[in-house]
Amino acid sequence: MSETGLIVEGSEWTFGNLEDLEVEIGRIAAGYRLDTYPNQIEIISAEQMMDAYSSTGMPLGYHHWSIGKQFLSTEQKYKRGHMGLAYELVINSNPCISYLMEENTLALQALVIAHACFGHNSFFKGNYLFKTWTDASAIVNYLVFAKDYVAKCEERHGLDATEALLDSCHALMNYGVDRFRRPKPISAEEEKQRQIEREEYQQQQVNDLWRTIPRQEEAADEGWPRFPEEPQENLLYFIEKNAPLLEPWEREIVRIVRKTAQYFYPQRQTKVMNEGWATFWHYTLLNTLYDEGLVNDGFMLEILQSHTDVILQPGYDSPHYSGINPYTLGYAMFTDIRRICEAPSDEDRRCFPEIAGKDWLDTVHHAMENFKDESFILQFLSPTVIRKLKLFNILDDDNNEEIEVTAIHDDHGYLRIREELADQYNLSKQEPNIQVFEVNLRGNRSLTLQHIQHDRVPLDKEDATEVLKHLHHLWRFDVLLESIQEDKVTHSYVCDDASVHENGDEATK
Amino acid sequence: MAFLIIDRRPQGRNKSAVNRQRFLQRYRKHIKEAVADAVNKRSITDTDRGNAISIPKKDVSEPIFRHGRGGSQHRVLPGNKEFVTGDKIKRPTGGVGSGGGEAGNSGEGMDEFVFELSRQEFLDFMFENLELPNLVKKQLKDTESFKYIRGGYTNEGIPARLNVLQSLRSAKSRRIALGGAIRRQIKPLEEELATLEETDGDEVRIGEIKAELSRLERRLNHVPFLDDFDLKYNNIIQQPLPTSNAVMFCLMDVSGSMTREIKDLAKRFFILLHLFLKQTYKKIDVVFIRHHTNASEVDEEEFFYSRETGGTVVSSALELMLKVIRERYPSADWNIYAAQASDGENWPDDSPIACDLLMKSILPLLQFYAYIEITKSDQQALWMAYEELLEKYADSFAMKKVSEAADIFPVFHELFQRKSG
């Protein structure tokens, strides 16, 4: 520490600086009761950041062309200056790995350390979704297992076969998660040990299911139990367990994709909260650092400038608009929760009687630990934030000539906007609701899926057709998909041997 | 709190290299088309960079189940300026349903997936049909070759490069420098001793001086004869090879019988020659001469893309080439290469003249003259005439009948052979 009392000076960082920052910020964070996994900070170059980027931040993964595509596109955008790279990338693992770019200035590194190493890190450790659904200490080992397994399959069964299988699984990745049931934690050790055992067992299960077919061929329609008994939402799980012709190694790969999807599922459900939490804390922690006189004005100004850039929200009509910025929304909400606790207005006392005037630190921790985006917004989106972001709701109904504005930031609109926005973050509404409905056990072994339409919103037909081909590749018998609106089939797709037939909008039938 | 800071920068940069290759492999067909396109658009001297390749986004998409347009959809947007509840807004563009696209996707409206191929990858795709031997491919792709020359001395090196003379010289100067102070003490003592001995002076003093002198001599001997930092090694530096100049003449028949495809093949041929020369020469001029019944010197654009009608008189081009050589590229200063592409047709009376011109005036000045006849039918008039040259100038004249891209390389075979020999 220098005579001025500053822990860091200048704009170039050194490894010593980073250590000092980690220690000081860590001390302050502990004062705010931020509970984190141990930090592992890794310094990387821009090129390495592009690598990390394209593999969605996984430190290692199996090889696949889609990651190459992602890399090429990132590289192209970066080189042409269309986009800057993130300052950091953080992985939900124990120890928590954060990548810092070498190009960052000292102030930026401080921001990143506060944001990732303490903000995201504590969120990973504290939020209930992450606690119940992912196992931070096992993920890296599992990824190693997955990578090795896929490589082995490529060797043994050929690159093309493996790639085609992965393509098909990726198409259904979003439908490879258990939404309500808690999955078993993944462990590379167990996976390896049990894998052979499982292969045999699974195959046997599948055989059992299908063996009954010839015997029961002549049975009457009635009395035949429907399979599956209940509709299944986890398509990949259903395929892994029941697809008739998949070989054991293929089932294992389906499982790997499914497990990876499951690992990312909490992240997809907590974008706003996670980024908001991290942004709220980098702002709070670094301001405390400044208040204690450990950093100077220039340092703080640079931080504030970056902070302002991060939480910029262009209006809906701006050419830069690309949806609601999760940093902005999350940061605004956490900041507002603190305000409501510390200095509530009459309006706040009316809307949030349970938190107005309470201890702010307790309240934000409670919010972080027990909510996901959807419920967080439903619970905490305050009129102040709605006014600040000037949110409004529109109804786009193809039965109407025009789009209607149904709510704006006024007394009548707050509740509506809050509900609609929460809905917007409900993953099961963002994605079409598609479930396994029935398998034809006695006849042609065809698989029937049902798409339950909501508010008449149809599927994207082009993509649906392609996905069905992938599904057919896994199931290897005919695949049917029916869009259902109010118990009527509005649209149906049939996929037999690589060609798809559609039956368009028969709503009148 | 436990924490760890790791510097990952020295570790592997190209983690995604495998994935990148997988992508290129998968979209090979698309990329090849794009490369062929780029080659046709590109100048033949301009092969030193990669290229932006675009593939229709539709073809590289990864499909998932998602909502389409239509139905009844709610959306919350930020930045309201003028709306109040109940306002009706016209749909932005394109009528029914177009407002229903996902808000999150509105940032990417492009229909093409664009990415950059490196120079290496670009050349790989370009050479693909030419069936170049691997060795040659490698030679062509290396931008520069080096020769190693001695450049002074360094303090560090391997024993084999130790320079004895310099090392000893350096040791000697070090010994002189380090012993200087001692010798300065010795000198007056010796003088004093000499005077004392001459005058039979004080015995005690003589003894003292002798003792002091022998002590100083010992100290002088302690200065090591050879020390680590005396060692000098020959320094070897890389120097780009070679620096001389070359000029490349591209001759092409542009008469009516030369079709688009023939010209494209010819273009590849010229590119290859240019790449090869670039490998060997630092500065290359390219002269484009096109001819039908008259020859003219033109720029590249006109060379490849303009079309003429009429007959063919090859000797007109050869005469022009000779004129250009005499005026601008004296053969003493320039390595001269020429490549001629034609469909083989020539005015019957002209072939002997052309042949004579080559034989007597041109070939003696040239390093190499390559002729390709691009035709699917039998050899044409010009071929017959040139056969005579083949015997006489076996080492500087090559000709080849080409009907598809893969035939081009053998023409160069001789060139490479000569080089390695």
* Cβ neighbours around B376 below 10 Å, total: 10
Give the pLDDT band of residue B105 (cuts 50, 70, 90): very low
Same domain? B393 vs B293: yes
Question: Looking at beta carbons, which residues of chain A come within 8 Å of B111?
Answer: none
Question: Which residues are registered as beta bridge partners of A450?
Answer: A435, A482
Task: Output the pLDDT for position B48.
Answer: 61
Digit-coded pLDDT (tens) for A387-446? 999 999 999 888 888 899 999 998 889 999 999 999 999 887 888 999 999 898 877 889
Cα atoms in the Cβ-side hemisphere of radius 13 Å centred on B127: 23
Structure-token match 């990651």, residue found: A67
* A43, A65, A427, best to mutate vs chain B, most B CBs in 10 Å: A65
Question: Smallest CA–CA separation between A90 and chain B, in Å?
Answer: 14
Among chain B residues, the shortest Cα distance to A59 is held by B15
Q: Do A394 and B106 touch (CB under 8 A)?
A: no
Q: How far apart are CA B185 and CA B267, in angstroms?
A: 82
Run of H or E residues at A90: strand A88-91
How would you write B43-100 as a 3-class SS string?
CCCCCCCCEEEEEEHHHHCCCCCCECCCCEEEEEECCCCCCCCCCEECCCCCCCCHHH
Question: Smallest CA–CA separation between A343 and chain B, in Å?
Answer: 26
Q: Do B78 and A171 touch (CB under 8 A)?
A: no
Q: Do B80 and A45 touch (CB under 8 A)?
A: no
Same domain? B121 vs B258: no
CATH number at residue B333: 3.40.50.410
Question: Looking at beta carbons, which residues of chain B come within 8 Å of A54?
Answer: 16, 19
Give the pLDDT band of residue A255 (cuts 50, 70, 90): very high
Task: Output the pLDDT for position B270.
Answer: 82
For B19, the token pair is 């994935």
B10: in domain: no
Task: Output the pLDDT for position A3.
Answer: 53
Digit-coded pLDDT (tens) for B113-153? 888 888 777 777 776 665 555 545 555 555 455 677 888 88
Taking the Cβ of residue B65 and every Cβ of chain A, the question of whether any pair is shorter than 8 Å is answered with: yes
Same domain? B408 vs B312: yes
For B349, the token pair is 């009376």
B157: in domain: no
* B15, B89, B116, best to mutate vs chain A, most A CBs in 10 Å: B15
Digit-coded pLDDT (tens) for A348-362? 999 999 999 999 999
Question: Which residues are registered as beta bridge partners of A72?
Answer: none
Domain boundary among B231, B264, B288: B231
Q: How far apart are CA B353 and CA B356, in angstroms?
A: 5
B239 pLDDT higher than 80? no
For B333, the token pair is 């200063």
Return the closest-CA partner of residue B3 out of A48, A25, A293: A25
Q: Do A460 and B67 touch (CB under 8 A)?
A: yes
Question: Smallest CA–CA separation between A222 and chain B, in Å?
Answer: 34
Q: Which residues, other chains included, contact B364 with Cβ-Cβ below 8 Å and sequence gap of 6+? A: none
Task: Tell me the torsion sign for CA atoms A392, A398, A399, A402.
Answer: positive
The proportion of chain A whose per-residue pLDDT surpasses 70, expressed as a percent, equals 87
Task: Output the pLDDT for position B141.
Answer: 52
Per-residue pLDDT averaged across A294-314, rounded? 90
Question: Looking at beta carbons, which residues of chain B come within 8 Å of A28?
Answer: none
Same domain? B356 vs B395: yes
Q: Do B13 and A324 touch (CB under 8 A)?
A: no
Taking the Cβ of residue B97 and every Cβ of chain A, the question of whether any pair is shorter than 8 Å is answered with: yes
B323: in domain: yes
Per-residue pLDDT averaged across B20-40, rounded? 82
**Alpha helix (H) ranges present in A344-413?**
346-351, 360-370, 373-380, 383-389
Same domain? B296 vs B364: yes
Q: Do A390 and B89 touch (CB under 8 A)?
A: no
Run of H or E residues at A462: helix A461-475
Return the closest-CA partner of residue A373 out of A322, A324, A339: A324
Domain boundary among B200, B231, B262: B231
Same domain? B296 vs B327: yes
A392-397 vs A96-101, strand pairing mode: unpaired
B106 pLDDT higher than 60? no
Same domain? B318 vs B410: yes
B397: in domain: yes
For B154, the token pair is 């360094």
Q: Do A460 and B68 touch (CB under 8 A)?
A: yes
- Return phi, psi of residue A52, to 5°: -60, -40
A304 pLDDT higher than 80? yes
Asked if A416 and A407 touch (Cβ cutoff 8 Å), the reply is: yes
Top mean pLDDT of A258-262, B118-122, B363-367 is at A258-262
Q: Which of A40, A407, A456 sits opposite B85 (nearest CB)?
A: A407
Return the closest-CA partner of residue B14 out of A241, A327, A50, A156: A50
Per-residue pLDDT averaged across B403-416, rounded? 67
Taking the Cβ of residue B93 and every Cβ of chain A, the question of whether any pair is shorter than 8 Å is answered with: no
Digit-coded pLDDT (tens) for A151-172? 999 999 999 999 999 999 999 9
Q: Which residues, other chains included, contact B301 with Cβ-Cβ below 8 Å and sequence gap of 6+? A: none
Same domain? B390 vs B345: yes
Q: Do A71 and B88 touch (CB under 8 A)?
A: no
For A378, the token pair is 């439903």
Which of A9 and A74 is assigned the larger pLDDT? A74
Same domain? B276 vs B387: yes
Digit-coded pLDDT (tens) for B47-97? 666 678 888 887 888 889 988 888 888 889 999 988 888 888 887 764 333
Q: Do B65 and A434 touch (CB under 8 A)?
A: yes
Task: Output the pLDDT for position B109.
Answer: 41
Task: Output the pLDDT for position B98.
Answer: 35
Q: What is the pTM of this model?
A: 0.71
Among chain A residues, the shortest Cα distance to B112 is held by A73
Same domain? B227 vs B278: no
B3: in domain: no
Digit-coded pLDDT (tens) for B163-194? 999 999 999 998 888 888 888 888 888 888 88
Q: Do B67 and A95 touch (CB under 8 A)?
A: no
Q: Do A322 and B87 touch (CB under 8 A)?
A: no
Beginning with the edge strand found earlier in the chain, give each strand of the sheet holding B245-253 in spatial order: B295-298, B283-291, B245-253, B335-342, B368-374, B397-402
Which of A210 and B332 is assigned the larger pLDDT? B332
Question: Smallest CA–CA separation between A160 and chain B, in Å?
Answer: 10
Same domain? B220 vs B261: no
Q: Which residues, other chains included, contact B174 with Cβ-Cβ below 8 Å and sequence gap of 6+? A: B223, B227, B229, B230
Asked if B334 and B247 touch (Cβ cutoff 8 Å), the reply is: yes
B154: in domain: no
* B22, B80, B98, B111, best to mutate vs chain A, most A CBs in 10 Å: B80
B404: in domain: yes
Q: Do B68 and A457 touch (CB under 8 A)?
A: yes
B4: in domain: no
Task: Output the pLDDT for position B370.
Answer: 82
Domain count, chain B: 3
Domain boundary among B182, B211, B231: B231
Parent domain of B275: 243-420
Q: Do A392 and B97 touch (CB under 8 A)?
A: no
Q: How far apart are CA A131 and CA A92, in angstroms?
A: 11
* B15, B61, B65, best to mutate vs chain A, most A CBs in 10 Å: B65
Taking the Cβ of residue B110 and every Cβ of chain A, the question of whether any pair is shorter than 8 Å is answered with: no
Q: Is the peptide bond before A38 cis (omega within 30 degrees of 0)?
A: no
Same domain? B227 vs B249: no
